[in-house]
Structure 1
Amino acid sequence: MTHAVHECAAAVDRIHDIVGTSGIPEEYAFSRQFRDVHIITQHGFINAAELEPIGQIMLGPEPHWPFFRV
């Protein structure tokens, strides 16, 4: 899920690179979509910092986040 969200944000970043400053004004839907996709990447269960406990689970060490403890 984390990877998917960050790939979606990367895709929106590519579009933003193409449209340039014309995607910034708030009256355009893209401006809202750009903000929304980047806001969700900071959610507690999705942000990139939470990839570390997934690696810990896969490699054996006890994850630091109680939510991920099995």
Structure 2
Amino acid sequence: MFTSCREENKTPEEKIEETMDEMQDDIDEASDDVKDAMEDVEDEIKEVKEESKEEVEEMTDEQ
């Protein structure tokens, strides 16, 4: 008995649905990446605020 390596024949509707599913996965992945980047930026902003606040306090303490 021989088996084929070919992909099974799909209807145009199945191909469209598969493509849409793949695109949705890509969109979800990109959305997660954007969320992660936004969280990183928020953390950086908080860190810079804290450092700036400490610097200002040090400067005012010196006077």
User: TM-score by structure 2 length?
Assistant: 0.31
Answer with 1 or 2: which has the greater Rg: 2
Higher helix share: 2
